[in-house]
Amino acid sequence: MTEQQRQWVISIHDVMPETLARCEELVGFLGDNGLHGPTLLVVPGLDWSQDQIERLRCLQQSGAILAGHGWKHRADAIRTPYHRLHSLLVSRDVAEHLSLDAHGIVDMIRRCHAFFEDNNLEVSDLYVPPAWALGPIPNGMLIDTPFRLYETLTGVLDARTQSFTRSPMIGFEADTAFRAVSVRCWNWLNLAIAGRRSPVRLSIHPNDLSLKLADNLKRLVNAGGTNLSYETFATAPN
């Protein structure tokens, strides 16, 4: 299978009032290369204006899919050694689930979902915790939350069936030389794992076209392929 035939599962992260214009540009960039219907991971607990809400609605009407992505995308506090290590190596200060207990996580997920309902926006079944850090919550507690699918670094959990779909993932958020080397190695490993058949989750952040791996992102997107929704990918029969 050539790069042109690769199947992607594409998400644009950190859709916020201050990043919305860049996210709109990314949707256009993908569409220009035949990759339509990306999933936009919306951070709801910020100062959204009515104009910005309408722009989300327009993106949705053009084929983009909206999904939940935490609440404010910033941890209130770092309370455990694991969270401190995660912050230093992976997430900086955005893994807000790690500062909560299980009940706090459920409450955040419900507030996230309610944002879409309150603003008459369609929301998909997908929720992605910031930095893919789901936090200290048993999978069984997610059955009673309003989302069905939960993405982590290694794949997607279907809370309804308690099944887990493993999938390689690549990203491009590298603003330092160290992160560029680390992410490049991560991408190489995951593309090797995917081989020629597995769909690959393509994770894009608002500034990626101006960061150190921008050329890699452009090369892969320019090669085209097809984009699967998370629902199609994670709920398809094996």
Residue among 166, 200, 155, 188 nearest 8 (CA): 200
Closest CA to 10 of 31, 235, 188, 160: 31
Q: Contact 99/75 with Cβ under 8 angstroms? A: yes
If DSSP codes are grouped into helix, strand and coil, which group holds residue 169? strand
Tell me the two tokens of residue 182.
């680390």
Q: Side chain identity at 59, as an amino acid letter?
A: L
What's the rounded Cα separation, in Å, for the pair 9 and 153?
Answer: 13
Q: H or E element: which one contains 11?
A: strand 7-15
Is residue 171 predicted with pLDDT exceeding 90? yes
pLDDT at 208: 96
**Helices (H), ranges, 48-101:** 50-61, 81-86
* Stronger pLDDT, 117 or 4, i.e. the higher one: 117
Q: For residue range 2-37, what is the model confidence (pLDDT) as tens digits?
A: 444 789 999 999 999 999 999 999 999 999 999 999
pTM over 0.85: yes
Going by C-alpha positions, the residue among 39, 21, 28, 29 that lies closest to residue 122 is 39
CA neighbours within 13 Å on the CB side: how many for 26? 28
Identify whether the C-beta of residue 39 lies closer than 8 Å to the C-beta of residue 229: yes
Taking residues 162-187, report their average pLDDT. 91
Smallest CA-to-CA distance from 70 within 3, 12, 14, 144 is with 14
- pLDDT-based confidence at 203, cuts 50/70/90? very high
| CA dist., res. 13 & res. 70, Å (int) | 11
The pLDDT of residue 195 = 81
Percent of the chain with pLDDT over 90: 73
Looking at the DSSP bridge assignments, the partners of residue 40 are: 12, 66
